[in-house]
Structures are given as C-alpha cells and as structure tokens.
Chains A and B, each alone.
Chain A
Amino acid sequence: MQRPPLFVRPQRRARGALVVAVALAMAIVPAARSHAASKSSTKTPATHVRTGLESVEKQVKEFTLPNGLRFIVVERHQAPVFSFITIVDAGSSSDQVGTTGLAHMMEHMAFKGTPWIGTTNAATEQTRMAAEEKAWSALLDERRKGARADTTRLKQLEQSFDAAQRSARDLVVSNDFSKWIEQAGGENSNAYTADDITAYFYSMPSNRLQLWALLEGSRMSHPVFREFYTERDVVYEERRMRYESSPLGRLLLEFTNAAFAAHPYGFGGIGFPSDLRTFSRTQGEQYFRTHYVAKNMVTAVVGDVTLADVQRYAKEYFSDLSSAPKPPPIDTVEPEQHAERRVILEDPGQPLIIIGWHVPAASDPTYPAYEAVADLLAGGDYSRLIKRLVKEKRVATRIDAGPGYPGEKYPNLFTLFVTPAAGQDPLKVEQEVYAALEEIETTKPFTNDELAGYKVRVKAQKIASVERNEDLANELAQAQTLYGDWREFFREQERVQRLKVSDLQNAMKTAFIKSNRTVGILTSPTTGAANEEGK
C-alpha cells in the first residue's frame, strides 16, 4: 500500500541513533547522513580490515552524466526487482527566514507531475497558474496591511484567489504522477526532507526500468508545481499531526528552536506557522532552481538492472537536469554557546527530557568518537546509561542518544532523549543523568572491552545494512553525498577500528559541559515538578 510523502528527521540508525526522532515519522525510512562534500580531509587511507563486504564493494559501478549527475549502480539478479534512491544535497537547513518549511514543501511539490503527467492541457494550465500566482500576490499584499486592510477588497481578493485556484484545478489530473508509480508496481514509494538532504526512493519490478527513468528524470528536470496552495494546507496538517498533536513533537520544536541561535538547524524544518501561510510558488521555484541541479544530486540503483541499460536511460531522461554549479554551503556558523539554555514545557503529556550539547560536523575527525560514545551510553541493554537508569535505578524506561541532531553536515547536537518512568520527577531524573555521565568521565571511564564490543557491532550492522537492495542503495547514496565518495561506506569501519578509549573520553570532556547544553523538559502543568501517575 502506498504511503504519502513524508517529512521526517531521520538520524543515523547505526550506533546510538536517535530512534525517537524517527518515531515522529509514520514510515520507517533509512537514516540520513549528510556532510559537507569535503573531499580529502575525511577520506581514509586503505587500512586492511576484514569487513565481510569485500565482495559487495567489487560489484559497485558508477558513471556521471555531462551535466554532473552521478549514478551508482549495483547489479543483483536474484529477483526481478530493483530499488533506487535520489538524494539532493539540500534540506530544511537551506530554508531562510520568511520561507521556513519551503524545502519540505518542495519535496511534496516534486510529486505533482510534469507538463505530460498530471494535466489535461499543459499550456492552458500554465496560463491559469500564472493567474493564480498573481491573485495570491495581490491577496498577500492586502493581508500585509493588517488592521489597515480594506475588508471589502480583502474579501474580493480572497474570492478571486479561490476562483483562480479552482480554475487551475479543473485542468489537473489528480495525483497522476504517483498513480504511475503505484500501478506499475512501485513499492515503498516515499520521500523525506531532513535538515541536510532530501531523498526520494521506491522499488520497482525490473521490467519498469525505462518507466522509472522517465518518471524520475522528468520530475526533476521538468516539474510543474501545480496545486501549490492546497498542498500548503496538507503540509500544515502534517505539522499539526507531528508537532502540534504529539507531546514529543511539541517539546522537540521548543528544544530545537532554543538550541540554535543563528544556524537554520534551529528552525525545526516543518516551517513556522506564519511562513506556512504566506510562502508562494514563485519562492518555491527559486528554491528548486537553486538546489535541484545535477551537481547537487546523486542517484543509486541496486537490483535486477544492467549498467548498460541504466546508462542508456540515464542519458535519455536525466540529461535535461540543470548543469548549473552546485550551490554554496551555508556560511553561518553557530556561535559558541556560553550559557545553559533550559526550556520547560508544561504539558498534559507524560514527562520527557531532551538534552543536547554542541558537537562538530561529521567531517570533523573527532566525530566517530561521538558516535561511539552514543552507543556505549545508550545503544542497548549493555550500555552505561541504560544499565544505570533503566535497569538498576528504574528512573527511566527508555534512553536514546546520538550526535547528528538535527543534521550532520554542519556543527550539530549530541542529544539524549530520556523517557522518565511513571511517577518520576523529570528534574530529578535529569540530575541522575548528569551524575552517571560524571562518573564515566571521572572514576569509571569506558573500558577497552566496551569499545571492542562497539567495533564488532559496527561490523555486524554494516553487513546487515547491505542485505536488501533498498538499504544498499541508500547507504551508497548517503556516503556519496556525505563524503563525496561512495567508497567511504566501506572505509568508515577503518576510522571506527582506530578509535581508542581516550578519544571517547576526550570527546565527552570537550562537549558535555553545562554552558554548552540545551535542556528541554516536558512536565506536568500542576506542580511543574513530579508528574502524577494515571492522568
């Protein structure tokens, strides 16, 4: 069964990932990992580590079109199916003040079709869409006058806008693009907008390779952003579902907004309500023109395909993608935080705790240490915080940890999500967390055995992550976007193997200081402290 396109903040699922953030999503999606495509600094010299993936690596092929779009292809012929993923190296951190939520909006728009898919008359439709855009512009101008707006004129403009929308909609063949995917047997069709990237993916029976190429090539190079203003309402409903009607969603927004003073990571991705009510299709097109260019994208195809066929269809259907240069990264660097930030949300929901400390981007050589710390703190029943707070003291029922919130391309947060046990005062549980961390930093550091276990788990997870076509495609495309080279997916383990306990201890010492942290607490409205059982 198809699921609608999806906004989600996926995080690294391997080693200490923030599963809770993913829990806000309706569908499980692969982890998004995205870094600055810094070419040389993060590439690993080939150290020999037996990973179990040697044969898989040999099967990976690639080619690049003249416009700069890179394809990664792995032939696997055991079943007549293939999976693909296209990753655009831009996400909601590319949003700007005034148009937050636009990156996610354009992900929705990418399903609206082309001049040949989704309309009964492309040319007339464009005229009507132009009229719709004009009507919107006029309406917005009048609304901006606020209390001084002429109410009669306002009503007229609203009616004109409605009429223009209806007129444009008359020419629409609703959801035509998605219908093509669905009826061809497209499986697990979905997309997501993370802070660093936007991803589109599905699987198809392998006799549909040409259709796939047409659909994906045409929607990325010749999109028509029809039904923009109705879809804005749909996105607002998504905001209501994920962030307004869920206690975790409410807390997460407050927390995220507080943790970043300057960088767009602090916007929250879904968009502020006023922006969701005012941004225009024109602004959306500008965003698309800037970021959906061949040099800013990668497509991975894994399954029952041949390299020759993929090359042929790539040339035929993806050549129209813009060959404009890759847009520059964001120059804003989040300034150093000098004071603890605390957000206390009084809410009818059960208590929750989120703690975040600023850590470097994933391209930094210390980043792997943070991933290891996350696993040893909260990766499972074997981990320190879960042993102490869940199993022994029973003050929490669940803990998740990981760097890379809300993204990894830029300096980000190492976050702890803690679910207090029923009847526990979240403020007291927070202190228990700090006490446990303090102990690891001073008297009970991580041991060589613990770190060795982490290295084995990484190995096992990586092997498991190539089993299914869609997972392998995802891993290769993520690494290509992240490191500028898909081979880094196979090399990553070497960085992990070189980790020493001192790396982890230093990472904690650097990041886990009070002035560097932002804390979000959801607590009961009555006392602001202990939450009552059985509300």
Chain B
Amino acid sequence: MRTQHFLRSVAVLVAALSLCVVTIAFAADDAKWNPANVPTPPLRPIATVTPKRVALANGIVIYLLEDHTLPIVRGIAYAKGTPLWVERGKVGLGPITGEVMRSGGTAKHPGDALDDRLASIGAAVETSYDGREMANASFHCLADNTNEVVGLWAEIMREPAFPDTKIELSRVGLRRQIASRNDDMSDVLFRVMRQAVYGKDNIWYWSREPEYATIEAVTRQDCIGLHRKLFEPSRMVLALYGDFRAADMTKLLTSKLGDWKGAHEPFPPIPPVPTDSKPRLVFADKEDVTQSGVLLGHAGFRADDPDYPAMSVFETALGGGFQSRLVNRIRTERGLAYATGAVAGDGYVRPGIFIAYSLTKSESTMTALGLLRDEVKRSVTEPFTNDEVRIARNTVENTFVFNFAQPSDILFRAAYYEAIGYPQDFLQKYQKALQSVDGAAVTAAARRKVHPEQLVAVVVGREHDFERPLASAGLPVERADISIPPPPSRTKQGSVVPAPGAEQQGREWLRQAADVAGGPLAWQQVKTQRLETSSTVVMGGRNIAASSKLAWKLPDRIVSVRTLPFGETKIGFDGKNGWSTMGATIKDEPELAKSVREEYERSLFYLFGHADQIQVAAAEPQTIDGVDYRVARVRGGAVPEFSLYFAPDGRLARIEYQGDGPQGPALNTEILSDWRRAGKVQYPYGRRVLIDGEPYLEAKVTQVTFDAPIEDSSFSKPSR
C-alpha cells in the first residue's frame, strides 16, 4: 500500500501557495480525499442476455436479438477466409473483392444507384475483406426500412456483379495507398516488424502487402471466384440486432437466403505462423522524421492457449497503461516517449505477435531501444511485485464487465465466436481462470511465452540523428529495403500500365484495326469457323512439322485436332465439359472451360466483333525490330490483362499475354501476318508464336471457312 504522510500545518501550505491552485486544508480532509478509504460495494450481477439462434437448412447460422428502445436495426455477416485463396501474384484481390462486392452492386441494383438509394434513407450496407481470416458484410437502417435494406444486404452477399469499372476504381484507391505506404513512420515500423518476424516470403507477411503489379493482375473472374469461396452459406454466421420481431426477421432471412446454395469449396487449414525469427536488429531508414519508431517482437500465441489469462495480466503490468513498467520508465520518468507500451501477442484465429514498442525523438533512439530490452528481459527474469500483479489483475478483472456493456456486444460476440470456432462460454472461462492468476502464475506464463533472446529489434528513423550507431546495440544489423517496387510499366517485359484517360485512344486503335479487317459488324456475324493450318513447332531444339484442324461454334464450342509425327491429339469443349484424347486415351479436362473462354476473348472474333465495348487503354508504345508499334492493354473479362500491338498501318500485329509454355507459365506472343480476304473479313493467314520471346511455332492457314454448319456432336467427348 502506498503510505501517505501529511503535515497538518496550513501555514506551511499558504507559504507554498504559488504551487497550489486552491489552498488546501489538510487537517480533517486527508481521509476524505484518500481513494484507499472509498468502500467498494459488490458489483450488481450482470444480466444475462441470450440471443436467439436459428440455423437454416443450407447451414447459415443466424443470431437474433430484439431491442425496441431505438427504431434502428443493424446486422453483420461473418464469412471465413484464408490467405491461401489468393496467390502471391495477385495480392490485393482480397481488399478489391471486399470493396467491389458493395461498390459494384448487383445486376438488379448497380453500385451507383445503390449508393444513392441507401443514402436517401439514411441506411448503409458495407462489405470488407482484408485478405486474411474474416470477411464481413454489414448493414444498418432505420426500422421502417428493414425489409428493403435486409433484402439489399442479402442480394449483395449472394450475387455481387463485380463490374470492371469498379474493380479499376478499387485499384485507383489501392495505388494511392501503395504510393503512401512509407509516408507515416508507424506504418513503416509495423510493416518492417511483420517482415522481420514472419519473413518476406511467408504468406502471413506478403498477403497483406499489395504491389502495383499484383493489383494489376487481378481480374473480374478472380473476384467472382474469391467471393464464392468466402461467402459460402454453410460457413456463414449472421447477427442481427434492433427493432424487429425475431419471428418476422427469421421469415425474412429465410426467404432471402434460405435457397442459397454454395459451391461448398473446402476450407483449407490455416497456414502456421513462423515461430523462428532470427534475433537481430532490422533497420529501415526514413529521412523526413524527427521521431523514431523502436520495437521488439517475436511470434505470440492463440487466445485459447491456457496462458492467455495470465498473459493478459502480464501485458497490463509490462506495457498496458499508466501502471505499467514501460509507460512509467520510458514516458513518465524519462520523458522519452509519448507512445510506448506492449502487447502480449494473443490472436483469436492466428497467433499474434508479442510487441514492446516506443516512439521517441531521433536523438534518444538507441537509449529507448536499450530501455525496452532491459524491461522485457526484466519482465521475465524479475517477477512483478505483489503490488504490480494486484493492480494489473484488478484492472483486467474489473474491466471484464465492459464486455457486457451493451446487449449488442453480447450478440455480435456470440456470432463471432461461432464463426471462428470458439466456445460460447470462452469469456466466462477466461474470467474464472483469472481468479487463480497470482505472481507465480504470471512469471511462469511469461517464461513460456516471452523469449528475450529470440526478439527481433526493429528501428525506423533518421539514422543520421541517432545518438549512437546501430551496432552499439550488440545485435547483427540488417538493413531493410522499404522501397516501393515501381508500377509494371517500368519493367522490361510483359505488362504495361495504361495512363489515366487512355481508354479513348485505345478504343480508337482497336476500332481502326477492326475496320481494316472488315469492320466489327462483319466479325460479329460470324457464327462458326473451320480452320486448317500447317505449321512448324520447335520442340526439344528440333523443328517438327504439324498440321491442325479446328472447328469452332462461337463462342464456346470447339474441337481441335492436331497431327504430329508421333500421333494425333484432340481437344474439345462442348459448352459444358472439356475433354482430350491422345491415341486411344480419353481424358476429362475440367480446366478447359477457362481456357476456351480465354481463347475466345483473345480471338479476333471477340476483339474485332466487340471493339466498341472492350475495355482497352493505350499504353506506352514499343519499337521492335525497327518497327514502331502502338500498344494497348485489354482488361476485364475472364482473361487476365493482355496487350495488343498495332502496326503503323493500323493493323493488329501482335497479341501478347501471360499464358502457358512447355515448361510452365510464360509470355506468349502471337504475331499475325499475311492478311487476306476470307468471307466478309480480312483474316491473318500467317501466324507465329513466341514463348518468352523465343520462336516456338510458325503456322500457315491452308483453309478457313466461316459459317459452315457444324454438328454439335463434334464437340462432345468421344465414347470409348
């Protein structure tokens, strides 16, 4: 207990009046003003509130809680996710999908109209996904508009339209975020920390860091696919609160969501979090600050770890407020920081990161780092005093009641726990476990969870102003590169990025090329194509002769026969199922739907036939073999972005895209030549294909026929 000793002389105090705002009569009031003398009556019991739980036949779980105090209704849908669903080359797909689900609206309620309608009734529907463990879709409205807004919320969840325009708008927002990501020192500090603790090639690091190139690579099809995985009815948990009748709301939700069938994509296990960060000092230089960020970190633990209650107390005592060692030592006593503290490293779904941090002026950077290291080490080697533990435990226990401050808190937490697979009584068990946390328990838990010798130190600031060199910390120094990779237009091969407002230009070029080749109408009118070619293929360093026959009922029924010296291969797609044959072997090809769609969207039938509707934007011109080509990017649709090269005479000369090569993904370049009249159009009779810039195939059209009838049966998988 603190001891307080007071002089009872008012005279002394009057003499010291310059320091006191009001004359203090110490005499009889000491006891009155001492907080230790204030009794603490028992806390009134917390009233239990039990939300109603309903499960629909398709697996959607709904928690409902009525509250008629205010005429409003709110709700949220939790949708489980995993970073495994987004490949590294497309990071940013998560936030884009989360944003465009709402901004793009649905076919029935396009985004802009939805914006206006919801605003006019003071309501909102919001969606978001950070690319990690949980996506959500929420709404709020005045009670009068419940039916309409719940209907819109359900529609957004079920059938978002993902229009290309809104995907591009989302990219514009992300580009600014990427460009600004080094502007604020604390953003840099925590990003470098994640990189240092997880490693830059670990999914838990890179899944949070979109780059210009990765957001360019995101397509509409990607968004549709990710949405379908996330918003899987059998995994979703909803919670609704407010001025409605549970029976009516159940009926409404059943009618809006009950017949929703998901794709039942399996949910992969959460990737493990690395626990083996190498102890070192990672430094990132930032010139435009007068204050550094300093922190220590290593992998943490999950909230359902038995050490969580004791570690909550530990966190409070080490760095959780004004009672804590860090705040007292670094902020209050030394004036070295405004912001300093620690977190134990608990995470609900995935383990968190143990962090002790401080922001301090450049000239006290290394001092603050030293103090942090001392205190973290001390927190494990020197047990907290009984006083420290008592105050910290009281803090944690006495704030417990705030988990129940509003009935809506109870509701949304119940739904969240179910969504993440935590038991409904998790909090109550935590509270019970706190009762046996004493000094020994805190020390034991700290020793299991905090390892000073494994800590990575991270420093961000203006090195030039530090009071001592980085090496003085006695740790190996690693310099982090925080430079932002430039947008793809600056890389040598592959993608080019259109400048804003270039769509007008790109469309003009495409239209011109279409016109030279017969005009969009003529191309649109083509219903079928038969094509025979003879070609030379480069295989294993040798030139091999081949011939092929293609029958295509546009857009998506196709069969192609290729004859090579060693045999004949056939590939076909009948609009639903894909197949292939090689000799006597017949195989199903489930990936063919995607390939055929992409073939179609890169074909002249589509490019020329729909020249006015395609999203194509002018990009930087390129000179190849002495010829100046105008280049444009086609985006949107099922196929990832690709480039069109237009020759000086306006003809389409090349189509270039990221596709497949003999050894995996490769840059494919198709060079078109020898344009001749065929039916109502001009068709390229010469074709060359380069793979990663190297010659792969050279073909000549021997015959091309348009609109000859083709039997549907030709596209079907042959029977054995």
**Which residue in B119, B331, B398 is a CB contact (below 8 Å) of A234?**
B331
Flag if A205 contacts B175 (CB, 8 Å): no
User: Which residues on A sit within 8 Å (CB–CB) of B19?
Assistant: 126, 129-130, 133, 224-225, 281, 285
Tell whether, in the assembled complex, residue B179 and residue A1 are in contact, meaning their CB atoms are under 8 Å apart: no
What are the residues of chain A within 8 A of B266 when measuring CB–CB? none
> By CB atoms of chain B within 10 A, which of A3, A174, A289 has the most?
A174
A122 lies within 8 A of B26 (CB): yes
B335 adjacent to A380 (CB under 8 Å): no
Within 8 A of A (CB), among B195-213: 212
A225, B408: Cα distance in complex, Å:
41
One of B42, B116, B182, B406 near A207 (C-beta < 8 A)? B42
The answer to whether B44 and A80 have CB atoms under 8 Å apart is: yes
Per-residue B-contact encoding for A345-374, CB less than 8 Å = 1, 0 else = 001111000000000000000000000000
B594 CB to nearest A CB, Å: 30
Q: Does A215 contact B (CB under 8 A)?
A: yes
From known contacts A120-B5, A221-B22, A421-B176, infer whether A183 and B395 are also in contact, taking CB-CB under 8 Å.
yes
- Chain A residues with Cβ below 8 Å from B400 are 185
CA distance A524 to B45 in the complex (A): 59
A residues near B18, Cβ cutoff 8 Å: 130, 133, 282, 285
* Interface presence of A500 (CB below 8 A): no
Residues B172 and A421 in contact, CB atoms below 8 Å apart? yes
In the complex, whether B492 has a CB less than 8 A from a CB of chain A is no
Q: A457 in the interface, Cβ–Cβ < 8 Å?
A: yes
- Note all chain A residues with C-beta closer than 8 A to B360: 237
Give per-residue flags for A321-364: 1 if the beta carbon is below 8 A from chain B beta carbons, else 0. 01000000000000000000000000111100000000000000
Question: Are B332 and A175 in contact, with the CB atoms below 8 A?
Answer: yes
Q: How many residues of B contact A (CB 8 A)?
A: 113
Q: Report the bound CA distance from A466 to B406 in whole Å.
A: 12
Q: Check if A79 is an interface residue, CB within 8 A of chain B.
A: yes
B120 touches A449 (CB 8 A): yes
CB-CB < 8 A to B603: which residues of A? none
Kindly state the separation between the CA atoms of A218 and B38 in the bound complex, as whole angstroms: 13
Give residues of chain B (471-524) contacting chain A, Cβ–Cβ below 8 Å.
Answer: 484-487, 499-500
Once bound together, how far apart are the Cα atoms of A326 and B576, in whole Å?
81
Chain-A contact segment, one of B298-306, B316-324, B428-436, B565-573:
B316-324
CB contacts under 8 Å to A, within B1-33, are: 2-7, 9, 12-13, 16, 18-22, 24, 26, 30, 32-33
Docked-complex contact B486 and A533, CB < 8 angstroms: yes
* Complex contact B140–A464 (CB within 8 A): yes
Q: Whole-angstrom distance from the CB of B66 to the nearest CB of chain A?
A: 14
Nearest CB of B to A368, in Å = 17
Q: Which of A121, A173, A457, A460 contacts B5 (CB 8 A)?
A: A121
Within 8 Å by CB of A382, from B115, B140, B291, lies B115
User: Are B183 and A349 in contact, CB atoms less than 8 angstroms apart?
Assistant: yes
Complex contact B35–A2 (CB within 8 A): no
> Among the listed stretches A33-41, A84-92, A142-150, A242-250, which one makes contact with chain B, having 4 or more residues with CB under 8 Å of it?
A242-250
- Please tell me if the beta carbons of B484 and A206 are within 8 angstroms of each other in the complex: no
Q: Are A534 and B487 in contact (CB under 8 A)?
A: yes
Complex contact B320–A1 (CB within 8 A)? yes
Residue B221 at the A interface, CB < 8 A? no
The complex places the Cα of A221 from the Cα of B103 at a distance, in Å, of 53
Q: Does B539 contact A (CB under 8 A)?
A: no
- Are A459 and B122 also in contact (CB < 8 A) when A126-B16, A203-B402, A237-B361 are? yes
Q: Which of B282-290, B630-638, B658-666 touches A? A: B282-290
* Contact residues in B for A421 (Cβ distance below 8 Å): 172-173, 175-176, 500
**Chain B residues whose CB sits within 8 angstroms of the CB of A381 once the complex forms:** 103, 112, 115, 119
B40 close to A (CB within 8 Å): yes
B71 at the interface (CB under 8 A from A): yes
How many interface residues does chain A have, given as a range? Answer: 35 or more
Q: Do A394 and B24 touch across chains, with their CB atoms under 8 A apart?
A: no
B182: which A residues are within 8 A, CB to CB? 535
Q: Does A492 contact B (CB under 8 A)?
A: no
Contacting residues, chain A, for B323 (C-beta < 8 A): 2, 175, 178-179, 182-183
Q: Which residues of A contact B44 (CB under 8 A)?
A: 80, 206-207, 304
Q: Is B711 interfacial (CB-CB < 8 Å)?
A: no
Known contacts A80-B44, A176-B2, A394-B172; is-contact A460 B72 (Cβ 8 Å): yes
- Report the nearest B residue to A322, measured CB to CB: B22
Contacts of A79 in B (CB 8 A): 46-47, 401, 404-406
Query: What residue of chain A has the Cβ atom nearest to residue B500's Cβ?
Result: A394
Give the docked Cα–Cα distance between A87 and B116 (Å).
Answer: 37
Instruction: Report the bound CA distance from A398 to B169 in whole Å.
Output: 12
Q: Does B185 contact A (CB under 8 A)?
A: yes
* A-contact bits for B349-391, CB 8 A (1 contact / 0 none): 0000000000111000000000000000000000000000011
| In the bound complex, CA of A32 to CA of B292 (Å) | 30
Select A227's contact among B112, B178, B332, B486, beta carbons within 8 Å. Answer: B332
Q: Given A421-B172, A459-B122, A534-B485, check contact A210 B397 (CB 8 Å).
A: no
- Check: B275 CB closer than 8 A to any chain A CB: no
User: 8 extra interchain contacts, Cβ-Cβ under 8 A, other than A183-B323, A227-B332?
Assistant: A79-B46, A81-B401, A120-B5, A175-B327, A184-B394, A245-B289, A467-B70, A534-B212
Residue numbers of A with Cβ under 8 A of B are 1-4, 26, 52, 55-56, 78-81, 111, 114-117, 119-124, 126-127, 129-130, 133, 169, 173-180, 182-187, 203, 205-208, 210-211, 214-215, 218, 221-225, 227, 230-238, 240-241, 244-247, 281-282, 285, 288-289, 292, 304, 316, 320, 322, 347-350, 379-382, 387, 390-391, 394-395, 397-398, 419-424, 449, 452-453, 456-461, 463-464, 466-469, 531, 533-535
Residue contacts A-B, CB under 8 angstroms, 19 given: A1-B316, A52-B72, A115-B26, A120-B5, A121-B5, A124-B7, A183-B395, A207-B44, A214-B38, A224-B20, A234-B337, A240-B290, A348-B288, A398-B173, A460-B122, A468-B405, A533-B486, A534-B212, A534-B485
